[in-house]
Chains A and B, each alone.
Chain A
Amino acid sequence: KAGVTQTPRYLIKTRGQQVTLSCSPISGHRSVSWYQQTPGQGLQFLFEYFSETQRNKGNFPGRFSGRQFSNSRSEMNVSTLELGDSALYLCASSLNRDSWGLSYEQFFGPGTRLTVL
């Protein structure tokens, strides 16, 4: 079974530009979460999508947005890029939760390294 894939793997942008990152979850997984990882802040939760609906959102400004398609693929968009947006952006997929409320484990993609100049 193929793992979580993210494209592109590397991106270089300049301040003020916008960027779109893509994530394809493991086949059958309907939940996709996005994270930002920086040396100073560590891993921070951005948002989670399930069945095309945003279920959860972290504490990031509105410049960060996302969406999920009917095939569970997800994209995240960052507008008006700032230098501080330079980070590794990670996507994770899971089966979500079963009928007993047990949460399934998350599987991560390799990430997209975004550099803002």
Chain B
Amino acid sequence: KQEVTQIPAALSVPEGENLVLNCSFTDSAIYNLQWFRQDPGKGLTSLLLIQSSQREQTSGRLNASLDKSSGRSTLYIAASQPGDSATYLCAVRRRDDKIIFGKGTRLHILP
């Protein structure tokens, strides 16, 4: 059974710092892994999608890596800003096409 875990559940860092969010999954037979952000009471915004054959993806200040053999993905945020405050979720799409989400990391950037 695929489980997706995100640690830590919450994180507060001062503005300007670089930070890493972690996502681990138990079954490496996945099609892809996607990172999202969610603002309170809102839907999800797609940040990065990594296919199973890829090792990393970059978009602006964001970089996501994927290590299928160890069942881990990290989301690196450079030079954090108060606007980055949100809940970050990772989701894996299994080979049976079901998508499993982690519970998310609540990020607070301190001005």
- Contact residues of A with B, CB < 8 Å? 4, 33, 35, 42-45, 48, 55-56, 58, 88, 90, 92, 101-111, 113
On whether the beta carbons of B93 and A110 are closer than 8 Å, the reply is no
Apart from A33-B99, A105-B34, A106-B46: 16 A-B pairs, beta carbons within 8 A: A35-B101, A42-B103, A43-B91, A88-B41, A90-B43, A92-B44, A102-B32, A102-B51, A103-B31, A105-B49, A106-B91, A108-B46, A109-B43, A110-B42, A111-B42, A113-B41
In whole angstroms, what is the CA distance A102 to B102 when docked? Answer: 22
Is chain B's binding surface mostly helix, strand, loop or mixed?
strand
On whether the beta carbons of A48 and B89 are closer than 8 Å, the reply is no
Q: Does B36 contact A (CB under 8 A)?
A: yes
In whole angstroms, what is the CA distance A23 to B101 when docked? Answer: 21
Select from chain B the residue with minimum beta-carbon distance to A91: B43
Chain B window 39-65, contacts with chain A (Cβ cutoff 8 Å), 1 for yes, 0 for no: 001111110010100000000000000
Is chain A's binding surface mostly helix, strand, loop or mixed?
strand
B contact residues around A104 at 8 Å (CB): 49
In whole angstroms, what is the CA distance A58 to B99 when docked? Answer: 9
On whether the beta carbons of A56 and B32 are closer than 8 Å, the reply is no
